[in-house]
Amino acid sequence: MSSALELRRGTYRDSVSLMQVSRSVSAVDGVTKALVAMATELNVGLLAGMGFETPDGAGPNDLIVAIRAEDEDALSRAKAVLETSLELSTGGGGGIGSAGGVPPRTIRTAAASGTDATLALISVPGPHAFAEAVDALEAGLDVLIFSDNVPVEQEIRLKDMGRERGLLVMGPDCGTALVGGVGLGFANTVRGGPIGIVAASGTGSQELMCLLHAAGSGVSHCLGVGGRDLSEAVGARSTLQALAMLDADPNTELIVVVSKPPADAVAAEVERYAATLGTPVQLAFLGQGRDDLTAAATKALAAIGHAGVEDRVWPAESPRAPRTGALRGLFCGGTLCDEAMIIAADRLGPVASNIPLRPEWALPADMHAAGHLMIDFGDDGLTAGRPHPMIDPSLRLERLAEELADPAAAVLLLDVVLGHGAHADPAADLAAVLRTAGPDAPVVLISLCGTDLDPQDLEAQARTLADAGAEVHLSNAEAARRAVAIVEGLDA
């Protein structure tokens, strides 16, 4: 066994790029563990968990590189991939205002360097996001905060500060946005069009945009506002601003507000405000008795005189015979998990989850339950100190192997989310695990969120999954209904 530990003092990289670098190093043949991260308290704890001593004087402005490999050859190859990946993550060393010299070290100095940028994307560990966002707002920039684990009190302060300056704060925990055709965070490649989106949901907005694209329409802008914006505490502060901005956009003919189940009073306030705008607004709030995302996309298309959404299905190459048991959902996207739970609970009863629809349906700490369950592997509690499952699916793959071998599981339901920022080939990893299952394993259904323009190749991803024994749907809602129908048929 060979290992390497290095502390690069004063070397900063954002968390998104480091997630990708860690993933690339970990994927090198012969590497057993790898961590490439800023030396925050959380990451230093992860370092100890790998069996490394903490370097003296390590701090949050220093970069940690820790690699364990089977031999020196694997370690050497991992180091080569590390350097290449770090170089690519900086675009060859340039940056805003660098002009071939030393790039700015703070948002404030970058904004003062003569750039014409109007928006700052912040992707740092949650405890450090507030200070960076304040700098951006004081520099006159709109802000997208990709970081999660930011206290709600800080979110409220930032959004009030932005509103006072006429600036939009997207996030915290804003995973997806599309501004002027440019995708930010996890973003699919979709055509331009007349529908603007305000999204208190990352994968929910991705699903909506992909369904609109599949139907031949497109999106003007998608302004993410963070998953808590429609909570009672935050009170739709950014949602109301984003609505006003899209209402003023001449290229937006219809606005859709998409969200996980919102607080009732906040939803009512958004509805009241939307009614005062000149641009029609459609509310796509998930919840019992409300439209799912596929139905919302169909309504939006009808409102602009466009044909509706048709679910596309790729049948499993070798379908498995259904067996009696429970429905188990393993999701990367929280909103897609919510949507599937709402559909399933309506027909099957309680669905245990780490993001439960009701408090009494909460999963225990070990994430296991005897009956129906769905897990959001992208929830803050499972991403602290590790990459999002759309980048690093290892936790979900481990659970998938477990569920495939569980005789109590009848149907497994998963999502696969494509696009920029996501895993380069998610189907390959999933297919490798699916192929280990025997003929009596559970039926596997997958919702595939992506477009024909995404870098992963939608068609190829679907074929890989179908060849491995999964039934693949373009609509998450239809995949969930199909899963429920199978379970109901077994119980009949």
Three-state SS string over the chain comes to CEEEEEEECCCCCCHHHHHHHHHHHHCCCCEEEEEEEECCHHHHHHHHHCCCCCCCCCCCCCEEEEEEECCHHHHHHHHHHHHHHHHHHCCCCCCCCCCCCCCCCCHHHHHCCCCCCCEEEECCCHHHHHHHHHHHHHCCCEEEECCCCCCHHHHHHHHHHHHHCCCCEECCCCCEEEECCEEEECECCCCEEEEEEEEECHHHHHHHHHHHHHCCCCEEEEEECCCCCCCCCCCCHHHHHHHHHHHCCCCCCEEEEEECCCCHHHHHHHHHHHCCCCCCEEEEECCCCCCCHHHHHHHHHHHCCCCCCCCCEECCCCCCCCCCCEEEEEECCHHHHHHHHHHHHHHHCCCEECCCCCHHHECCCCCCCCCCEEEECCCHHHHCCCCCCCCCCHHHHHHHHHHHCCCCEEEEEEEEECCECCCCCHHHHHHHHHCCCCCCCCEEEEEEECCCCCCCCHHHHHHHHHHCCEEEECCHHHHHHHHHHHHHHHHC
For the residues 415-421, what does the mean pLDDT come to?
A: 95
Q: What is the pLDDT of residues 283-329, one digit of tens each?
A: 999 999 999 999 999 999 999 999 888 889 999 999 988 889 999 99
Give residue 90's pLDDT.
63
Q: What is the pLDDT of residues 126-154, one digit of tens each?
A: 888 999 999 999 999 999 999 888 999 99
Q: What is the mean pLDDT of the chain?
A: 91
Give residue 99's pLDDT.
46
CB-CB contact of 133 with 122 (8 Å): yes
Global pTM value: 0.84
For the residues 182-198, what does the mean pLDDT come to?
A: 96
Q: Cβ atoms within 10 A of the Cβ of 366, count?
A: 6
Token output for 436: 């280990």
Q: Is the pLDDT of residue 16 over 70?
A: no
Which of 2-11, 96-105, 196-205, 420-429 is predicted least confidently? Answer: 96-105
The CATH number of 313-491 is: 3.40.50.261
For the residues 200-213, what does the mean pLDDT come to?
A: 96
Neighbouring residues of 172: CB distance < 8 A, sequence distance ≥ 6: 126, 129, 145, 147, 148, 150, 154, 155, 226, 228
For the residues 80-84, what does the mean pLDDT come to?
A: 93
Q: Is the pLDDT of residue 466 over 70?
A: yes
* Region(s) of the chain under CATH 3.40.50.261: 107-303, 313-491
Given the structure tokens 């490394």, which residue do they identify? Answer: 52
Q: What is the pLDDT of residues 155-184, one digit of tens each?
A: 999 999 999 999 999 999 999 999 989 999
Give residue 418's pLDDT.
97
Quick one: what percent of the chain has pLDDT higher than 70? 95
Give residue 253's pLDDT.
98
Give residue 138's pLDDT.
95
For the residues 83-100, what does the mean pLDDT come to?
A: 62
Give residue 95's pLDDT.
46
Give residue 490's pLDDT.
65
Give residue 94's pLDDT.
42
CB-CB contact of 351 with 345 (8 Å): yes
For the residues 185-189, what does the mean pLDDT come to?
A: 94
Helix 15-26 vs helix 72-89: angle between axes, to the nearest 10 degrees? 150
Give the homologous superfamily in CATH for domain 107-303. Succinyl-CoA synthetase domains (3.40.50.261)
Quick one: what percent of the chain has pLDDT higher than 90? 73
Q: Is the pLDDT of residue 449 over 80?
A: yes
Token output for 64: 């940690």
Report residue 98's pLDDT band, with 50, 70 and 90 as the boundaries.
Answer: very low
Q: What are the beta bridge partners of residue 219?
A: 195
For the residues 41-69, what does the mean pLDDT come to?
A: 85
C-alpha separations of 432 from 204, 422, 426, 427, 470 in Å: 27, 18, 10, 8, 12
Give residue 44's pLDDT.
80
Which of 221-235, 357-371, 431-445, 478-492 is predicted least confidently? Answer: 478-492
Report residue 103's pLDDT band, with 50, 70 and 90 as the boundaries.
Answer: low
For the residues 46-74, what does the mean pLDDT come to?
A: 88
Q: Is the pLDDT of residue 124 over 90?
A: no
* Region(s) of the chain under CATH 3.30.70.60: 2-89
Report residue 123's pLDDT band, with 50, 70 and 90 as the boundaries.
Answer: confident
Q: Is the pLDDT of residue 387 over 80?
A: no
**Gyration radius (Cα) of the chain, Å:** 22
Q: What is the pLDDT of residues 325-377, one digit of tens each?
A: 999 999 999 999 999 999 999 999 999 999 999 999 999 999 999 999 999 99
Q: Which of 246, 237, 218 has the alpha carbon at shortest distance from 170?
A: 237
- Domain 2-89, what fold? Alpha-Beta Plaits (3.30.70)
For the residues 48-76, what does the mean pLDDT come to?
A: 89
